[in-house]
């Protein structure tokens, strides 16, 4: 939106994804905390007859604890596969998800998948309750916690790598041509043909629905440059309604763009808040 003086108002902040690090820390510490609580309760609140039960079941419980230690590695690998599968399914249901929505999908998948490597630790803690030796229990809890942290850090590293890769994709081959370029969302990207671009004519309106979310900023910047070069003073950027994420991204860019004089939501007859009208500075 613009104010009464024709100056661009401050855009709404783009929603950010959930804080994965804090959530991951809580998940990873669940098993160690559970073991600490069990040991504290055993020491502070003796249960009548429990000592005899632990004496009778100590040997099989210790065997179970050692078995859970051996199960940590396959459980960790299975958790990785579960997370990747959940992320693929989530993105398949929402192929046009915004960066914030993608972060939510990945976090939900991580929350579910990290329960898998924690199963051996929880069973080992149950074995400790019935008299298992502490050594295999402590080792199992430590390995399960490490598996959870590795899974979360691996997911974070992959997300950062994808984000940096997306930011390096060029929007066009040359500013001397009156074109705006990007990879259409409906066409799969072939690494062998990354030099191929889609040529679009410069008109007084551009629809961003055909572009991938990662290309939106570069496409809008290139479009504004070429539209101004063609002499357009007013253009329309169609970003859609949705949750307002795309609108916030576009208007945040417009507020900083040197060629933009002012901008505001389009009237209802021209798309309403699903489109933004932009007034460009004269050359």
Q: Average pLDDT of 241-251?
A: 83
Structural domain contains residue 180 = no
For the stretch 2-19, pLDDT in tens is: 444 343 443 443 333 445
- Tally of structural domains, the chain: 2
**Based on the domain organization, do 142 and 209 belong to the same domain?**
no
**Based on the domain organization, do 123 and 246 belong to the same domain?**
no
Looking at residue 99, its pLDDT comes to: 67
Looking at residue 127, its pLDDT comes to: 93
Judged against a pLDDT cut of 60, whether residue 252 lies above it is answered with yes
Boundary (domain end) residue, out of 118, 135, 167: 167
**Based on the domain organization, do 24 and 160 belong to the same domain?**
yes
Structural domain contains residue 6 = no
Structural domain contains residue 11 = no
Q: Average pLDDT of 215-234?
A: 89
Residue 272, phi-psi category: left (phi > 0), alpha (psi -120 to 50), beta (remainder): left
Compute CA distances 178 → 163, 183, 229, 280, whole Å: 28, 17, 8, 17
Judged against a pLDDT cut of 70, whether residue 158 lies above it is answered with no
**Based on the domain organization, do 80 and 127 belong to the same domain?**
yes
Boundary (domain end) residue, out of 132, 167, 202: 167
Looking at residue 98, its pLDDT comes to: 65
Confidence of residue 239 (pLDDT cuts 50, 70, 90): confident
**Based on the domain organization, do 114 and 244 belong to the same domain?**
no
For the stretch 176-220, pLDDT in tens is: 333 343 333 444 445 444 444 555 667 888 888 888 888 888 889
pTM of the model: 0.51
Which sign, positive or negative, has the C-alpha torsion 232, 216, 241, 6? negative
Contact predicate 265/273, CB 8 Å: yes
Instruction: Give the integer Cα–Cα distance in Å for 237 and 223.
Output: 10
**Based on the domain organization, do 40 and 139 belong to the same domain?**
yes
Looking at residue 84, its pLDDT comes to: 86
Contact predicate 180/199, CB 8 Å: no
Q: Average pLDDT of 255-278?
A: 88
**Based on the domain organization, do 137 and 228 belong to the same domain?**
no
Looking at residue 67, its pLDDT comes to: 95
For the stretch 8-62, pLDDT in tens is: 443 443 333 445 567 777 778 888 998 999 899 888 988 888 889 989 999 999 9
Confidence of residue 63 (pLDDT cuts 50, 70, 90): very high
Judged against a pLDDT cut of 80, whether residue 167 lies above it is answered with no
**What range does the domain containing 110 cover?**
20-167
Q: What whole-number percentage of the chain has pLDDT above 90?
A: 25
**Based on the domain organization, do 203 and 267 belong to the same domain?**
yes
**Based on the domain organization, do 113 and 199 belong to the same domain?**
no
Which CATH number does the domain housing residue 200 bear?
A: 3.30.1370.110
Q: Average pLDDT of 160-183?
A: 41
């Amino acid at each position: 939106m613009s104010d009464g003086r024709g100056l661009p108002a401050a855009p709404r902040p783009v929603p950010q994804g959930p804080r994965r690090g804090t959530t991951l820390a809580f998940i990873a510490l669940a098993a160690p905390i559970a073991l600490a609580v069990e040991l504290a309760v055993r020491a502070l609140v003796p249960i009548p007859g429990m000592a005899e039960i632990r004496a009778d079941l100590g040997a099989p419980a210790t065997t179970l604890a050692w078995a859970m230690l051996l199960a940590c590695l396959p459980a960790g690998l299975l958790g990785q596969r579960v997370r990747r599968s959940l992320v693929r399914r989530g993105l398949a249901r929402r192929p046009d998800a915004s960066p914030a929505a993608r972060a939510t999908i990945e976090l939900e998948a991580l929350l579910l998948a990290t329960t898998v490597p924690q199963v051996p630790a929880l069973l080992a803690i149950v074995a400790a309750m019935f008299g298992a030796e502490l050594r295999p229990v402590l080792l199992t809890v430590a390995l399960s916690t490490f598996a959870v942290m590795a899974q979360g850090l691996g997911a974070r590293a992959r997300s950062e790598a994808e984000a940096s890769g997306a930011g390096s994709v060029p929007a066009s081959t040359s500013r001397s041509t009156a074109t705006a370029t990007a990879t259409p969302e409906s066409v799969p990207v072939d690494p062998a043909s990354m030099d191929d671009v889609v040529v679009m004519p410069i008109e007084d309106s551009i629809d961003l629905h055909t572009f991938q979310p990662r290309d939106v900023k570069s496409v809008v910047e290139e479009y504004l440059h070429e539209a101004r070069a063609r002499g357009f003073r007013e253009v329309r950027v169609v970003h859609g309604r949705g949750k307002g994420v795309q609108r916030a991204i576009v208007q945040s860019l417009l507020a900083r763009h040197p060629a933009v004089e002012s901008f505001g939501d389009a009237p209802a007859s021209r798309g309403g808040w699903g489109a933004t009208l932009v007034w460009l500075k004269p050359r």
